[in-house]
Amino acid sequence: MNPIVVVHGGGAGPISKDRKERVHQGMVRAATVGYGILREGGSAVDAVEGAVVALEDDPEFNAGKCAFQLVNNTPHCFLTDQGAAQFAAAMGVPEIPGEKLVTERNKKRLEKEKHEKGAQKTDCQKNLGTVGAVALDCKGNVAYATSTGGIVNKMVGRVGDSPCLGAGGYADNDIGAVSTTGHGESILKVNLARLTLFHIEQGKTVEEAADLSLGYMKSRVKGLGGLIVVSKTGDWVAKWTSTSMPWAAAKDGKLHFGIDPDDTTITDLP
């Protein structure tokens, strides 16, 4: 099986020219890290973790920190609040004050949003920067990872789509893997990642499946977003209904990259 990794940097509105360059570098770096892990025989799980950690460490994106493998270390899928903090401490994850996880750019965005409002709207494109990765390894295993700081100006206690199985992402070796971005409440309502894989299970191509599930989310709950998919047979796609979505894919020594629709560049990987 030829390994593949695909990454995204969040569905968004138009991206300015100078930010585009920084976003481009971040996408290329993450895809290269993930692909390097796969090329050395690493697993799909290691590849998506490596790619997403590279994006979490990049202040250009709005993500969490520390994509730790909960499922491999506990019998559970989810831990929250105090339990999550206790688990992280037990696993030796260093504690970082919340303040240090917020960039100046995001502090400004929050202050602006408190006056303007609107980031909660289903078609809002202000919530840029969520990151994600999907991968297929040499053994035919697939995996996904999605990490976010969430929508701006949300209520305390809000749980978005990104950490939720079936919404923010899904992976099944019998079908493929998906990571999503966009309006979280819409993504949760239509179970966007699992819905996409359902269409692939029904015989649709990855492209058709992505169009169908994103189209359904738009028509049914007026939600905008985007997603990346890799199938168990090695087909992949990046699709979005927001204005833009930075993405990159590495396969067969080539790097594919894009931000706007119909604007893909292909270069040789180092």
Q: Which residues bind ligand ASN (CB under 6 A)?
A: 10, 127, 130, 148, 150-151, 160-162, 181-184, 187
130 is catalytic: yes
Give 130 or 241: the residue with its C-beta nearer to ligand ASN.
130
Give 153 or 162: the residue with its C-beta nearer to ligand ASN.
162
Which listed residue (32, 130, 146, 148) is catalytic?
Answer: 130
Give 35 or 247: the residue with its C-beta nearer to ligand ASN.
247
Q: Minimum distance between the CB of residue 41 and ligand ASN, rounded to whole angstroms?
A: 32
Give 38 or 67: the residue with its C-beta nearer to ligand ASN.
67
Q: What is the token pair recorded at 245? A: 């979505």
170 SS3 class: strand
**Distance (Å, whole) CA 252 – CA 233:** 14
Q: Minimum distance between the CB of residue 2 and ligand ASN, rounded to whole angstroms?
A: 29
First CA to last CA distance, the chain:
21
Strands of 4-8's sheet in order across? 142-147, 131-136, 4-8, 247-251, 254-258, 264-268
Q: What is the token pair recorded at 113? A: 């949003």
Q: Minimum distance between the CB of residue 62 and ligand ASN, rounded to whole angstroms?
A: 7
- How far lies 251's CA from each of 39, 161, 233, 256, in Å? 10, 28, 13, 8
Tell me if 179 sits within 8 A of 67, measured CB to CB. no
Q: Minimum distance between the CB of residue 192 and ligand ASN, rounded to whole angstroms?
A: 10
**Distance (Å, whole) CA 20 – CA 26:** 10
Residue 83: how many CB atoms within 10 A of its CB? Answer: 12
Residue 190: how many CB atoms within 10 A of its CB? Answer: 23
Q: Minimum distance between the CB of residue 13 and ligand ASN, rounded to whole angstroms?
A: 11
Residue 192: how many CB atoms within 10 A of its CB? Answer: 31
Q: Minimum distance between the CB of residue 137 and ligand ASN, rounded to whole angstroms?
A: 25
**Distance (Å, whole) CA 129 – CA 59:** 9
Give 39 or 65: the residue with its C-beta nearer to ligand ASN.
65
Which residue has the closest beta carbon to ligand ASN?
184
Tell me if 19 sits within 8 A of 60, measured CB to CB. yes
Give 150 or 176: the residue with its C-beta nearer to ligand ASN.
150
Q: What is the token pair recorded at 251? A: 């396969």
Q: Which residues are catalytic?
A: 130
